[in-house]
C-alpha cells in the first residue's frame, strides 16, 4: 500500500535520512523502531508532507505523495497522529473529533464515523463535552488517534503513541492499537518503546542514524541478539 524508495531528507546540511526504503502492505501493522535522533519522526513527517525529501519516492497505492501539500494528503486516505498528542486543547472532545472529519462533506458519514470512533474509545464518549486540554495524557492520545480515524483512512501513521504515558496507560494504548489492527486498519507505527512495538507488529524496521539497519518479521527481530542488546535491554 505505502511504498518508500531510497528516501533522502536533509535539515540544512544535516543528512537526516540516508536513502531509506520501506513498504507497508494492506492491513499490516508495521513498526519503525530506533533510538532518539534516528530519523523516525523525520520519516513520518516526510510521508505526510510536512517535510520535503531531496530525493527518493513515496507512493500510496501507486500515487506519488511528494507533490501533495500536507493539508490535502488526508484526502488520499493517509491520516497522521502527530507526536506528543496534538489535540485542540480549547475545544471539546466532540469538536476535536468533528475537526478530524473536516474533509468529509457528508454529515451522515461524519455521524457514522463518530459512532465508530466512540465504539473504539468508550472513554471519549463519556467525556464528549469536556475540553480536550483537561483530559489525561492517555485520553488525549486516544483523542488524537480517534480524530485520525474520523475520515476512514486507508493507512494511519502513529508517532510515538506511548510518549510520556505511565506503563499502565502504555499497555492500554497498545491494546487499542492491536484492536485497530485487528479491525483491518493499516498502521505504520513509530516507537521508541521497542518491546511493546515488536509485540504487536507484523513486521518492523530498525532505524539507526538515518539508515535502516535491520528489517524483518517482528517476532524474529524481537529474538535477534543485536536488537535485544540495543533496544530491549536484555
Partner 1 sequence: MKQNKTMQGYLLNTVVIVVLFAAFQMLTAAYGGSGSFKLVIAPCLWQCCYLIILAASLNLVLGFLGQLSLGHCGFMAIGAYTAALLSLACERSEVFKNANDPVYLVIIFACILAAGVLSALVGLLVGIPALRLKGDYLAIITLGFGMIIVNIINNLPFCGQDGLALGSASASLYKNGLGFGSKSKVTFLWVALLTTIVCMTMMFMFIRSKYGRCIRAIRDDEIAASASGINTSFYKVMTFAYSAFFAGVAGALYACANATLSTSSFAFTNGGILNSTFIVVMVVLGGMGSLTGSVVAAVVMFLVNYQIKNGAWVALLPASVQGVFQYPMLVYAILLIIIIVFRPKGIFGAYEFSLRNLPADLKASRARKAAEKAERKEAGAHV
Stretch that binds partner 1, among 52-60, 99-107, 190-198, 212-220 (CB under 8 A): 99-107
By CB under 8 A, tell whether 79 contacts partner 1.
yes
C-alpha cell, 124 = 471519549
8 Å CB contact between 167 and 174: no
Could you tell me the strand order of the sheet in which 55-60 lies? 14-24, 2-11, 55-60, 63-64
- Kindly state the smallest distance separating residue 189's Cβ from partner 1, in Å: 16
Map residues 43-62 to x or -, x wherever contact with partner 1 holds by CB under 8 A.
Answer: -----x-x------------
By CB under 8 A, tell whether 134 contacts partner 1.
no
**How many of the chain's residues bind partner 1 (CB under 8 A)?**
28
140-179: contacts with partner 1 (CB under 8 A): 144, 147-148, 151
> Out of 16, 39, 46, 100, which residue is the one contacting partner 1 (CB under 8 A)?
100
- Kindly state the smallest distance separating residue 95's Cβ from partner 1, in Å: 6
Listed in sequence order, the DSSP H helices in the chain are 40-47, 93-100, 107-120, 122-126, 137-149, 167-182, 194-200, 218-223, 225-231
- Tell me if residue 193 falls in helix, strand or coil: coil
By CB under 8 A, tell whether 111 contacts partner 1.
no
Residue carrying C-alpha cell 492499537? 177
- Kindly state the smallest distance separating residue 150's Cβ from partner 1, in Å: 8
- Roughly what angle, to the nearest 10 degrees, separates helices 107-120 and 167-182? 130
Distance separating the N- and C-terminal Cα atoms of the chain: 34
114-133: contacts with partner 1 (CB under 8 A): 132
8 Å CB contact between 29 and 183: no
Nearer to partner 1, 85 or 120 (CB): 85
- Kindly state the smallest distance separating residue 177's Cβ from partner 1, in Å: 18
By CB under 8 A, tell whether 95 contacts partner 1.
yes
By CB under 8 A, tell whether 75 contacts partner 1.
yes
| Longest Cα separation, the chain | 52
C-alpha cell, 68 = 501533495
> Out of 5, 10, 91, 199, which residue is the one contacting partner 1 (CB under 8 A)?
91
Q: Which helix (H) or strand (E) holds 208?
A: strand 203-208
Interface positions with partner 1 (CB under 8 A): 48, 50, 70-72, 74-75, 79-82, 86-91, 95, 98-100, 102-103, 132, 144, 147-148, 151
Amino acid at each position: 500500500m505505502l511504498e518508500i524508495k531510497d528516501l533522502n531528507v536533509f535539515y540544512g546540511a544535516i543528512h537526516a535520512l540516508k536513502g531509506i526504503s520501506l513498504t507497508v502492505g494492506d492491513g499490516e501493522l508495521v513498526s519503525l523502531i530506533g533510538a532518539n535522533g534516528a530519523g523516525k519522526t523525520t520519516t513520518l513527517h516526510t510521508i505526510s508532507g510536512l517535510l520535503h525529501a531531496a530525493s527518493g519516492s513515496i507512493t500510496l497505492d501507486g500515487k506519488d505523495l511528494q507533490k501533495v501539500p500536507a493539508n490535502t494528503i488526508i484526502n488520499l486516505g493517509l491520516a497522521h497522529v502527530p507526536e506528543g498528542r496534538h489535540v485542540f486543547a480549547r475545544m471539546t472532545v466532540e469538536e476535536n473529533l468533528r475537526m478530524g472529519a473536516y474533509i468529509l462533506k457528508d454529515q451522515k458519514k461524519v455521524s457514522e464515523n463518530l459512532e465508530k470512533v466512540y465504539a473504539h474509545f468508550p472513554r471519549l464518549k463519556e467525556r464528549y463535552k469536556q475540553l480536550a486540554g483537561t483530559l489525561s495524557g492517555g485520553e488525549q492520545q486516544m483523542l488524537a488517534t480517534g480524530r485520525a480515524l474520523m475520515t476512514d483512512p486507508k493507512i494511519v501513521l502513529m508517532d510515538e503513541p506511548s510518549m510520556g504515558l505511565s506503563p499502565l496507560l502504555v499497555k492500554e494504548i497498545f491494546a487499542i492499537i492491536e484492536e485497530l489492527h485487528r479491525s483491518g486498519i493499516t498502521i505504520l507505527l513509530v516507537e521508541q518503546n521497542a518491546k511493546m512495538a515488536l509485540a504487536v507488529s507484523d513486521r518492523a524496521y530498525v532505524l539507526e542514524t538515518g539508515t535502516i539497519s535491520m528489517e524483518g518479521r517482528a517476532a524474529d527481530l524481537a529474538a535477534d541478539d543485536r536488537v535485544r542488546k540495543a533496544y530491549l535491554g536484555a
